[in-house]
Every structure is written in C-alpha cells, then in structure tokens.
Structure 1
Amino acid sequence: MPFLLAAALCSVLVSVLLKLARRLEVDVGQAIAWNYVVAAAASMLVFAPAPSALHAATAAWPALVGLGLLLPTIFLALAGSVRHAGIVRSDVAQRLSLLISLLAAFVLFGEPLSAAKGWGMAAGLAALTGLMWRPSKGAISGGAAGWIYPLLVFLGFGVIDVLFKRVASAGVPLGAALLAMFVLALLVSLVLQGWRLARGTARLGARSLAAGLLLGLLNFGNILCYLRAHQALPGRPALVFSGMSLGVVALGALAGMVVFRERLSRINLAGLALAVLAIVLLARG
C-alpha cells in the first residue's frame, strides 16, 4: 500500500505542478521536454535495459512510435485541461480512460465482457457526462475548453494504454520499452520546442528547466511506484488498479477543492461519485 499511495501522490502532484505553471511563469512545453530528459535518464539508471531487446522486437515499433508521438502531446492536453477544467475533472478523466482500454480488450483482444464490467463502463460514461457538464454560471470558467481538454485527456490516455498493451504483447522488456518511449517523446518535444523558438514564441528559461526536472522526477516516480506495487501484490492486480485509481481521484479532488478552491456543481459531484463507482465495478469485473 505505501507504493500505491506514493504513485497516486506523484500523479496528483504532476497535475498540481501543471496548475501552478502559469502562476510561476513556467513554459509548460519546455518543462515537458526537460521532463523526458529526466525520465529517460532515470529509466537507464533504474532498469539498465539492454538495447538488444528493442532490436528483436520489430513488431512493437509502430506502437512505440505512436507512444513517442502521443506522450508529449497528451501532456500538453493535460496541462490545458488542468488550466481550464481544474485538477478534479482532469484527474478523473485520466483515470476513466480505462474505458477505452477495456473496450479495446473486448474488441481487439477477445476478453469476455462480464456484467460488472458492463455496468462499470455504463457508470463511467455517465460519470464523464456529469464531470464535463458546464453550467452557464459556473465558478470554473473556460468555455468550450473546459470540456474539450478533459475529453482529449480521456481519449489520449485511453489510446496510450492500448498502445502500451500492444508493446507488452510483443514481449519487449518494460525497461527497454520505457526508455524507447521516453527517448522518442523527447525527440518530438525537442522538435516542437525548436519550432517555437525559431518562430520567436518561446524563450529558454531557468524556471521551465527547474519545473521540467521536478516534473520528470514525479512522472518517473509515478511509474516506478506503480510497478513496485504490482510486484509487492503480484496476485492482486485488481487491488492495485482500484487503489491507484481511487487514490488519484480522492487526492485530486482534495487538492482541487481545498488547495485551489475549485467548485463543482451538483451534477459534477454526482459525476465524481459515479466515477468512483465505475472504478470499483471495473476492478471487480
């Protein structure tokens, strides 16, 4: 359980850092690029992957390239979601992206659909509707961005999970897969930031570098602690998943409403409750 708590805490702290980025005058794009420098270096130090593992797994490269493209762009979408919709909705949208990976499991991987999973998916869709509901006079402004960004987070993280399953099914060792993903994501981030620098729309800054180093440590810490939790509880994957998801939703709600004074409507709160129910049903199914 300590590993699960640490993983959930790291995940929520990523959202908190993204929420504070504008206030601290941090360039999110630059911070995301530096984040992948740290994550790639940490992968090499902790896992020490063998390069030969990637040479042998040619079938995994399309999924790895897809992950390299999606990881930095979905990070930007998460930053936009936290800014426009708040931490609570963003974290829940990220956790409910499991619905997409489950749908892929039924359609692409032949997993049977149980009653609990069916009800869980229905509750999850209802939760998304409630969480993205925007009252005409809400406390959280943002217009269309207030629901577009959480929707992008939901779709993006769902596709990322499916691609990760493709990599895992190809037999690539986790350390080698993580290193390849982080390096590819870094290259994409460098291209994006180089384009911004060439256009004069961004300037290198020490604050963005510091934020990126912290972001990379939190991002890698989230992954590492989550993996350690699975190793500590090898026969209870449902407990690991539900504990992680519920922990992120609970800590994210606490941080959003207490630290940042995010206010949710009754429909939003009902969506939050449905999200917890959906996670429990999907874990038990």
Structure 2
Amino acid sequence: MIYIVLSIFCSVTVAMLLKLAKRYQISIIQAVTINYLTVIVLSLLFFKPDFKVINSSAPWPIYIVLSVLLPTIFLFLAASVKHLGIVKTDIAQRLSLFIPILAAYFIFKEDFNQLKFIGLGIAFLAIILTFLRKTEAQSKSNKWLYPIMVFIGFGVIDILFKQIALHKELPYTTSLFVVFCLSFLVSIIIVATMVIRKKTKIQLVNVGCGLILGVFNFGNILFYLKAHKALASNPSTVFASMNLGVIVVGTLIGIIVFKEKLSKLNYLGIALAVCAVILITLSQLNAV
C-alpha cells in the first residue's frame, strides 16, 4: 500500500507545482520539456529499457500519436490547474477513465454488468456538477474547455497505453521509454519554434522547475507500476485507491492550501465522483 500512497503524493505534487508555476512566472512548455528529459534519464536508471526489441514491428503509430498528445495535454493540464484549480482538474483527470470504459464497450465489444453502467451514469453526472459555475458570466468563460480537454485527452491516452500493453513482445517499460523520448523531441520542437518567433526566452528557473516536475511525474509512474506488481492479484484495489486517493487528497489540498472556492453542487459532484470510482471498481471485481 506504501507504493499507492507514494504515487498519490507524486500525482498531487505535480498538480501543486503546476498551480505554483504562475506565481513564479514559469514557462510551462519549457518546464514540460525538461520534465521529459528528466523522465528519460530516470527511466534509463530504473526501467533499464531493452533496446534490442525496439524495431519496425513496434507500434510506432501509437508511439507517435502519444508523443504529440502527452506534451499537448500536459499544457492543457497546467492551464486547467491555473484557471480552475487543483480540485476540478484532478476530478477531470481521474474521471477520464469514463472514456476507455466506453471504448471497451462500443469499440472492443466488452461485456458490461449493471454496476458498471450505474457507475458510468454517476460519473457523467459528477463531471457536470463538478464544473458548474456560480454565475452566468462565469459560465460563458472558455476556461471550462481546459478541464474538458484534460478529460478527453487523458482518456484517449489511457486507451493508447492499453493498446501498447497488448504488444507482449515489447516490455511495457521499454515502450514507455520510447514514448518519453519522442515526447521530449516534440516538446523541443515547440520550444524552439516559440524561441525563434520570440514568444518565449530560455530561463534557468524553467529548467529547475522542469527537473522537479520530472522527478515527481516519474515517481507517479514508477510507484503506480510497483503498486500493480506488489498487488498483482488485486489490480482493482490499486485502481480504486489511486483514483480515490488523488480525488480526496487533491480536493483537500485545493481547498485548504490554495483556498479554492467550490459551490455546494461542486461538492456534490466530488462526492459522486468518489461513488463512481467505487462502483466501477466493484463492477470489475464482479466481472472476474
């Protein structure tokens, strides 16, 4: 269980760092780029990828799509944290499980039980209530697009990573390393383009923030994988604990530390999000 706790801590810390980025005038794209460089180095140390199995038969189209999606959605994640706070962003990220589950039903034709249908219905309602704004003026703001993109983006990313996991001839950690390398290249291209167009300047503070971000981003991945390995016979426990933990801890940090304002309907949405994760987890247990 210690690995789950550490993974939750790292995940929430990433959100906190993105929240603090505005205060210290951090260039998110520069920090994200250094973040991927840090993750690549740590992947080499901890995952020890097998370069011999990386060949033309690897799922390169999926690698390439992920390499574009990851840094892009990271920017939407940062924008969502900045404009709407940690609470709503964490809810959007965690309830993105809604998308791969729908894909499993409509695309991959998996059987669904009643609990999963109920869980999905509650998750949908939770999303609506969590993002409701207090006034008409606020509701017209385009800021709601950020968590929606986080929701959709992480859902699609989850589907693609699950497709990678189906390639049993390739170690999953080796595929992760390839995706991180390609994501770093995409981020470099974005930063270079922005520097050439004089829309940003390379600053040392962004490098420092990126290093810290990369350590916690990798820690989230490493401990989550270790939790699944340690609790191999209970993957649903890891799934539920991780999602519920991030929702609860992220909510407490957002409200207590960053004084984020939530309406009664938002609180109801958070409670329903917790219920949705529990029901979806129970549905997976019943399916086994």
Q: TM-score, normalised by structure 1?
A: 0.96
Q: Deviations over 1:100-148 (max 9, x none)?
A: 011111223232111111011000100000011111179xx69523311
Q: Distance in 1 between matches of 2:115 and 2:109?
A: 17
Match of 2:286 in 1: none
Q: Distance in 2 between matches of 1:271 and 1:50?
A: 44
Alpha-carbon contact 1:84-1:145 (below 8 Å) kept: no
Match of 2:272 in 1: 274
Q: Distance in 1 between matches of 2:136 and 2:216?
A: 35
Q: Distance in 2 between matches of 1:33 and 1:232?
A: 31
Structure 1 runs (4+) greater than 2 angstroms displaced: 107-110, 141-146
Please give the secondary structure, in 2, of the residue aligned with 1:96: helix
Q: Distance in 2 between matches of 1:54 and 1:84?
A: 40
| Residue 157 (1) aligns with residue 132 (2) | no
Superposed displacement of residue 238, structure 1: 0.7
Superposed displacement of residue 228, structure 1: 0.6
Q: Distance in 1 between matches of 2:84 and 2:195?
A: 28
Match of 1:128 in 2: 127
Match of 2:236 in 1: 238
> What 5-or-longer segments of structure 1 have no aligned partner?
none
Match of 1:15 in 2: 15
Q: Deviations over 1:247-281 (max 9, x none)?
A: 10011001100000001001111110110000001
- Structure 1 segment 118-197 matched on structure 2, within 5 A: 118-136=117-135, 144-171=141-168, 172-197=170-195
Among the aligned pairs, what percent are the same residue? Answer: 41
Residue-pair matches, total: 282
Q: Distance in 1 between matches of 2:212 and 2:139?
A: 27
Given residue 196 of structure 2, which amino acid in structure 1 is its aligned partner?
Answer: A
> What 5-or-longer segments of structure 2 have no aligned partner?
284-288
- Structure 1 segment 58-137 matched on structure 2, within 5 A: 58=58, 60-136=59-135
Match of 2:24 in 1: 24
Q: Distance in 2 between matches of 1:146 and 1:113?
A: 34
Alpha-carbon contact 2:40-2:180 (below 8 Å) kept: yes
Match of 1:43 in 2: 43
Given residue 153 of structure 1, which amino acid in structure 2 is its aligned partner?
Answer: V
Q: Distance in 1 between matches of 2:106 and 2:40?
A: 33
Distance 1:259 1:137, change over 3 A: farther
Alpha-carbon contact 2:132-2:139 (below 8 Å) kept: no
Q: Distance in 2 between matches of 1:56 and 1:175?
A: 18
Superposed displacement of residue 54, structure 1: 2.1
Given residue 14 of structure 2, which amino acid in structure 1 is its aligned partner?
Answer: V
Q: Distance in 2 between matches of 1:98 and 1:57?
A: 29
| Residue 254 (1) aligns with residue 264 (2) | no
Q: Distance in 1 between matches of 2:56 and 2:119?
A: 38
Q: Deviations over 1:6-29 (max 9, x none)?
A: 101100110000000010121111
Q: Distance in 1 between matches of 2:179 and 2:5?
A: 25
Higher mean C-alpha deviation, range 194-203 or range 171-180: 171-180
RMSD: 1.4
Q: Distance in 2 between matches of 1:37 and 1:57?
A: 25
Q: Deviations over 1:158-198 (max 9, x none)?
A: 00000001111122211211111101100110010001100
Q: Distance in 2 between matches of 1:177 and 1:260?
A: 37
